[in-house]
Structure 1
């Protein structure tokens, strides 16, 4: 089967199958103006993709789904990890209200997971896979993501990341990318999406036209890419072209400004939308979340939704209603703000109905494609398998680890040894969200672990604590996620001064082999902070593993 066999069918017009119109919320729909189609409330709903609060379907969401809402995006607060069947039951309830619902989730493997948020992803992230540089393993990881999603009733994985992380100071992409090489990212983007889509789960290449050379996080600020269009075409667009050629179902736009395309972020920029279509992509264009600062703090989510549709978007990702940086609205109000703005724009004639119909057609075409039979079922019936689908992902992640040796040995001693674990990280990636300390969790299987609150310690107290641990013969580990961070470098230097045999665990970008790491400590570069990478690190540190 060729990659094109995994791509959705051509656009269809869903209007002919419209069900009777009912209100998008508790109220009846607004009175329609002359010349506005009677199915407008349903048509508006068909391009909106909100988040919601809770592990069951709230009443407002049920009403909206029955009135044609495109679907939903899951976040970690929608998942109950103590009830394994909960998320599949939630998806079934959503599809009882709307059989064509698009249910999406950020499931990249590695740092970014929603379905495995509490305990951490069991599937390696992009930087691990890019470091190994084995496209067959990347495709197998994509299949694992696809199966995880399909078992949960999810039919669109908002992955893979197709960004080329050329800026080591990038605060939001980093280890979420396969690497900094255009060719490598292109190969692995195509492999990952083919794996995901083999399960009839759509893949979504993000973040067009490339978020890899920014120093701002568009969750929190307007991000700019200070590149010419020629540079963008040479270094950052090829992975997206590879995704298009491989039949990717969807693309997510970036809230980034490309000066040659104008002053508007790509999500709201018709020239960026035209660039995407000029490259030959005919599938579903999804906005990044409209609650992010690049939209929320400039034009606002409602106006942003209208501008995004005018710029060529098909599906409006409203965002996570529990994000600390949102406007404080509840989940229904976040949805209603977007619905009202789009409805008013169509009613006034500012947003042509034809634009809405075209977008709704692409959403409907994707939903229809996702209802097909996964390749696994076809392979099982034919007795085929490539042997990689039972991969030991901890072993895969361990093979990707790189050790830059200093004075310390890559070993923690025997079982029941005491480990002092210093978490020197100074925040969390906004896309990943806060997580448990997976290194500590993995260590607790075999060791006694002491995890002091580094941020609360003065430099003198930190030195005294580490010196005392080293004098007792205890192992000292320091976790960092940026070797370029002055604060994290200061912690490493303080530790190295009193415990030169301590070990550094770098969960961020690794410097090129042979270049300085910025610390004298023996350093294990594990290319991410996830459950599987944490277990890989501990396996390297445990004798006989």
Structure 2
């Protein structure tokens, strides 16, 4: 079908133009054939997920990035690298850089800037030129299932200051930062990976409490912004990603850089209009770069990585060919992608050495200083090195943004202790009580790991442990309650503001100060 626009390009040119705004994930640690062909036909680039990274092969990831750029020297290579709970580059062992809630609790913007430089350095070494971070959301709803400890805090002023610092740090390393999730995912009670999330706020409330961190990111020169699949009633019924009023709001705030969609395979798009139609609507709403998503997500089962990409490509190509999507819209989006690439290449040259200027930061010390202790009956310390630590992992479903991870606290404890980690899912309440009671009666330390103090299931496990081991210790890797507010447990509690390798090591250091 011929283009209706009189200034259309030939089919081959249109193929390259459509590819120029598509940003897929892929399966494997090398470049598959379909991806190589698409890159050579102008594909914007790729997003890495943990399954693309093989830490057992030295140099694998930089080599993969080099192969991608051999096929397309202008490729945008991105990765979710927030530090703390959400990491791809360090997913096997856990992040060595504290996450946003840790940094917000410490509230030292210079430390946050250094963390940004460290994230930028990781990305740069991997051949990544766009870090999908920092999170600029203000987590005003403590029941938020997807943001939580990924945010710097619940105050617009605090989050604004740390967002700007993180942006400056990441970009000092010559890597683009991408503030997310515009216009603010912090007041939702649904996870947009799994459902349509709504922000029940007026536009005035949104402007006062949720937009300031994005404005701070713009003022700091952030290279990119990621939109959110959230419905803001004041902007209409469509998710912000697909909503021209949300796109206009972003540009009205003065941001002229790259607008990236959140993944089009998330339920807010996948289960409503679908990724293909979602891609077209996102472009019409002002998006520039279409993040296709992770082809290994459980909800994409049965569709391979090429099929995920092709669905988006075909839908956009057809929409331009029919005249529904004006070619000028596509050209403008591709132009902003190209402008980012040019910025990235210049920033990379200027940022050489910028990630290393901090020397060796003791990130475990940083995370330990951010911990908060709410004392209860038990001592906030572990016994001598001959102790057997019983670690009851009461956590339930993992955060979709982070995915399932190893038990980093168990790993950190194993450096100095014998550790027993019972499988709570296989034990009856009576068996768990018997096991914990036996450990406590022998004077052995008992720890309970939680990540949501508001969870009835996790509270039930805490109560069961407290009934037989009142001197046990709760390790809360989720959001802490406001100071002076009850935690819901009588156990002494260490709030570590996240679950990552560095926070786990910080907890162990805190519990063993004399070692």
| Partner in structure 1 of residue 249 of structure 2 | 275
Do the aligned residues in 2 keep the contact of 1:413 with 1:543 (CA within 8 Å)? no
Could you tell me how far apart the structure 2 residues matched to 1:368 and 1:59 are?
27
The alignment of Structure 1 onto Structure 2 pairs a total of residues equal to 510
| Partner in structure 2 of residue 486 of structure 1 | 456
| Partner in structure 2 of residue 530 of structure 1 | 500
**Which ranges of 4 or more aligned residues in structure 1 deviate by more than 3 Å?**
31-36, 373-380
Cα RMSD of the aligned pairs, angstroms, is: 1.3
| Partner in structure 1 of residue 488 of structure 2 | 518
SS at match of 1:371: helix
| Partner in structure 2 of residue 314 of structure 1 | 288
| Partner in structure 2 of residue 26 of structure 1 | none
Task: Provide the TM-score with structure 1 as the length reference.
Answer: 0.92
1:164 is displaced (CA, Å) by: 0.2
Do the aligned residues in 2 keep the contact of 1:144 with 1:389 (CA within 8 Å)? no
Could you tell me how far apart the structure 2 residues matched to 1:124 and 1:375 are?
26
Deviation readout 1:413-444 (Å, 9 max, x if unpaired): 11131000000001100000000000000011
Could you tell me how far apart the structure 2 residues matched to 1:302 and 1:396 are?
44
Could you tell me how far apart the structure 1 residues matched to 2:443 and 2:58 are?
42
Do the aligned residues in 2 keep the contact of 1:200 with 1:369 (CA within 8 Å)? no
Q: Would the alpha carbon gap of residues 355 and 242 (structure 1) be closer, same or farther in structure 2, given more than 3 Å must change?
A: same
| Partner in structure 1 of residue 216 of structure 2 | 242
1:375 is displaced (CA, Å) by: 4.8
Query: Where in structure 1 are there 5+ consecutive unaligned residues?
Result: 1-30
Q: Do structure 1's residue 423 and structure 2's residue 393 form an aligned pair?
A: yes
SS at match of 2:26: coil
**What does residue range 289-438 of structure 1 map to in structure 2 within 5 Å?**
289-326=263-300, 328-372=302-346, 373=348, 375-377=350-352, 385=357, 388-438=358-408
Do the aligned residues in 1 keep the contact of 2:289 with 2:333 (CA within 8 Å)? yes
Q: Do structure 1's residue 37 and structure 2's residue 30 form an aligned pair?
A: no
Q: Would the alpha carbon gap of residues 315 and 60 (structure 1) be closer, same or farther in structure 2, given more than 3 Å must change?
A: same
**What does residue range 226-265 of structure 1 map to in structure 2 within 5 Å?**
226-265=200-239
Could you tell me how far apart the structure 2 residues matched to 1:164 and 1:375 are?
32
1:63 is displaced (CA, Å) by: 0.2
Could you tell me how far apart the structure 2 residues matched to 1:188 and 1:374 are?
25
1:514 is displaced (CA, Å) by: 1.5
SS at match of 1:64: helix
Could you tell me how far apart the structure 1 residues matched to 2:333 and 2:233 are?
27
1:32 is displaced (CA, Å) by: 5.3
Query: Where in structure 2 are there 5+ consecutive unaligned residues?
Result: none
| Partner in structure 1 of residue 42 of structure 2 | 68
Could you tell me how far apart the structure 1 residues matched to 2:122 and 2:234 are?
40
Could you tell me how far apart the structure 2 residues matched to 1:412 and 1:374 are?
48
Do the aligned residues in 2 keep the contact of 1:199 with 1:374 (CA within 8 Å)? no
1:376 is displaced (CA, Å) by: 4.8
